[in-house]
Amino acid sequence: MSLHDLIEPNAILPSLKVSTRKQALQELSERAAEVSGLPAREIFDALLQRERLGSTGVGGGIAIPHGKLPRVDRMIGLFARLERPIDYEALDGEPVDLIFLLLAPESAGADHLKALSKVARALRDQRLTARLRATRDASGLYLLLTQSPTHNAA
């Protein structure tokens, strides 16, 4: 599984304007609804439920919100580059400016964990995140995410 398997070109938000974690999750839920065909509220509720367990801000300015939904039939990823960093209650206390949202089928089990691991591993690459932060257009972000040398790393 690569990031190419998780994300489509229409699932990239190159300059998301939000000021809070909740607002970011709402905006991402709206776009995820367009990509998946599921109700935005259902997606938002699943993401909020997961955030209540602890922030998905993993550090280094990166968050990986995720949730499992019964009507999702495949892994769905979305990527947002925020216009300005926001407080996300991340593990390291740093504001977040890169968000990779992941939705999984309720029955995904280990595949969900593998996908989360793949995303986290890719976004730990500081060269990649620097390029993501410098890129302003959706097509460029998509290419970086899907054609990066880290996207097939084990």
Backbone angles phi, psi at 95, to 5 degrees: -65, 155
Residue linked to tokens 């280990």: 110
Catalytic residue set: 66
From first CA to last CA, the distance across the chain in angstroms is 10
Which of 152, 154, 2, 135 minimizes the C-alpha distance to 75? 2
Query: Distance between CA atoms of 69 and 67, rounded to whole angstroms?
Result: 7
∠ CA 118-110-147, nearest 5°, is 20
